[in-house]
Amino acid sequence: MCLCLFCICFCHFLSFSQCVYLGGPVSNKAVITQRPSWSQIISGEVITLTCEIQDGADTEWEYEWRSNSSETRPYSQHWVFTASASSHGNYKCRGKKKMDPYTSTAWSHPITLTVSRKLNCFTVSLTVEM
């Protein structure tokens, strides 16, 4: 018996039926949703990114996140953070099967967060005497 990785068998003397496969890409697709969903985010807002695996309801997934400002994030389906200037940029995710961590989806299409400075608001009151 020999080992196969990513559906490529490295066997010289054995048939494919005798190979043991260790992971590889899956056909499920990772998609990110953002809440709030508006395109302009104000610094200080709480943002929730969710990684959804399409047609993956019957599988337990771990999640991996990447952004411009960080390497891989923890394995949670939701990434919740308070927006700041450093939050500006691209985000993407992928799913890994819990029972087979060598098997994962492709990275999602990136979403882009645009973060603006917090606006200073003030109230003007006008009193008119007659």
Mean pLDDT of the chain: 79
Predicted confidence (pLDDT) per residue in 37-91, tens digit: 988 899 999 999 999 999 877 889 999 999 986 667 667 999 999 999 889 899 9
Position 43 in a domain:
yes
Position 8 in a domain:
no
> Minimal CA–CA distance to 83: which of 50, 122, 35, 120?
35
What's the pLDDT score for residue 43? 94
Spatial separation of the C-alpha atoms in residues 48 and 91, rounded to whole Å? 12
pLDDT band at 23 (very low <50, low <70, confident <90, very high): low
Spatial separation of the C-alpha atoms in residues 40 and 121, rounded to whole Å? 17
Position 50 in a domain:
yes
| Number of domains the chain contains | 1
Read off the tokens for 77.
């389906």
What's the pLDDT score for residue 5? 46
Position 12 in a domain:
no
What's the pLDDT score for residue 12? 46
Among left, alpha and beta (phi > 0; psi -120 to 50; other), residue 27 is: alpha
Position 32 in a domain:
yes
Q: What is the CATH number of the domain that holds 56?
A: 2.60.40.10
Position 102 in a domain:
yes
Q: How many other CB atoms are found less than 10 A from the CB of residue 40?
A: 9
What's the pLDDT score for residue 118? 73
Position 121 in a domain:
no
Predicted confidence (pLDDT) per residue in 64-74, tens digit: 999 986 667 66
Spatial separation of the C-alpha atoms in residues 23 and 55, rounded to whole Å? 18
Position 125 in a domain:
no
pTM above 0.75, yes or no: no
- Domain range for 51 is 23-116
* Burial of 95 per CB tally in 10 Å (0-12, 13-18, 19+): buried
